[in-house]
Structures are given as structure tokens and as C-alpha cells.
Amino acid sequence: MDDGRHLVLVGMMGVGKSSVGRRAALRLGRQFIDTDKLVEEEAGCSVAEIFATEGEAAFRVLENAAVRRALESEPWAVIAFGGGAVLEPTNRGLARECALVVWLQAPARELARRVSASLRRSGGAGRPLLAQGRSPEQVLDEIARAREDAYKATAHVLVDTAGRSPSQAATAVLIATGWSPE
């Protein structure tokens, strides 16, 4: 157990960073911070709108600033990074230094199922990297392969969320990191 730093969740879209993070934060009595939400608050619009109007590069600048703000926050929190936040080497280094980092992982097929359900609930908004005209599973598999080394370089612990509810995955995170799952 490491009560002296943040708990950061990294991984692909659809893996459960936000839903698992909220549950873990509740169990630990910590605040929950979602860096995508910080970006949206700063920009005054959604991540999808930032991608559409300003592009991915502009989003990444905002995301990097959000990651720094989250990691500098007090008291200690559970922080969900956006899926691509680990692409920036500075973010990887800060996270490893300031937090216990958990890489949440699931196969592309399961991620696609989760993301597709999320897209249906949101009316198709909110996942700009999937707006490429190809199957979500194919796109997610390609993105996961491209980011795998960055996730490995950032994480202290790996937790598989496949076949687990957000509550079960939160329990697995707490066990894997040495916190009591109660």
C-alpha cells in the first residue's frame, strides 16, 4: 500500500479508467480526477469538439497540461489519464515519479464492444479516434499496438479488466496495488 502518492490509471479507451477509477477513489476515500474532464473544463467544449475544430495536436497540448495539474493536485487522488496521455514522455516520467501507475488492459474485441455501447448511449459522440470509417475493433487493436510500449514504460502494475465489471476491476486494482479492497 502506498498512501503517499496518487493512484493513476492508464490504458486504452473503453478499458474502464473512469468507471474503475471512480469506484477505487470511493473505496479509498480519495477524490477522482479524469484528465479528459479537466481538458473539457479548460477548453469549454468536449474532447470530440476539440479534435474536430482544432485537431489532435491541440488536444494533446491541453491534455499534457491537464496531466500536470492532476499530478500536482492535493490531496492524493485517483487519476484517470486519457488513453493517449502516456504518448508524451514527460507525462510518463511524471506519472511514474508522482504516482503508483496501473495499466488497465483488455483485448481489442472487448474494448470495441464497450466503446460501441458507449457510442450508442452518447449518440455517436465522444470517440474521435474511432471516426475513421473502419471497425472499432480494428482501430482499437492498431492503437493498442502503437501505444503498448508507452503503457509498459509508464505502469508499475498491470490489471486485466476483461470480463470484469467496473466494481470487480476496481477490487482487482486495489488488490494488485496493495490497498485493501474493502
Question: The CATH number of the domain where 17 resides is what?
Answer: 3.40.50.300
| Residue 63: per-residue pLDDT | 96
Q: Is residue 124 over pLDDT 50? A: no
Report the number of distinct structural domains present in the chain: 1
User: What pLDDT band is residue 56 in, cutting at 50, 70 and 90?
Assistant: confident
Residue 95 domain-assigned? Answer: yes
Three-state secondary-structure class, residue 134:
coil
Residue 181 domain-assigned? Answer: no
- CA 27 to each of CA 12, 138, 162: distance values in angstroms, whole numbers, following the listed order: 23, 35, 21
Report which DSSP code applies to 87. Answer: G
Q: What is the pTM of this model?
A: 0.90
Residue 169 domain-assigned? Answer: yes
Residue 39 domain-assigned? Answer: yes
Residue 99 domain-assigned? Answer: yes
Residue 54 domain-assigned? Answer: yes
pLDDT tens figures, 76-109 = 999 999 999 999 999 999 999 999 999 999 999 9
Percent of the chain scored above 70 by pLDDT?
A: 87
Q: What is the C-alpha to C-alpha distance for residues 24 and 26, in angstroms, rounded to an integer?
A: 5
**What is the arithmetic mean of pLDDT over 144-154?**
96
| Residue 114: per-residue pLDDT | 83
As a whole number of Å, the end-to-end CA separation of the chain is 13
Domain range for residue 136?
Answer: 6-176
Instruction: Show the beta-strand stretches assigned E in 35-164.
Output: 77-80, 99-105, 157-160
Helix (H) or strand (E) holding 120: helix 108-122
**What is the arithmetic mean of pLDDT over 22-51?**
94
Helix (H) or strand (E) holding 162: none
Residue 1 domain-assigned? Answer: no
| Residue 138: per-residue pLDDT | 86
Residue 29 domain-assigned? Answer: yes
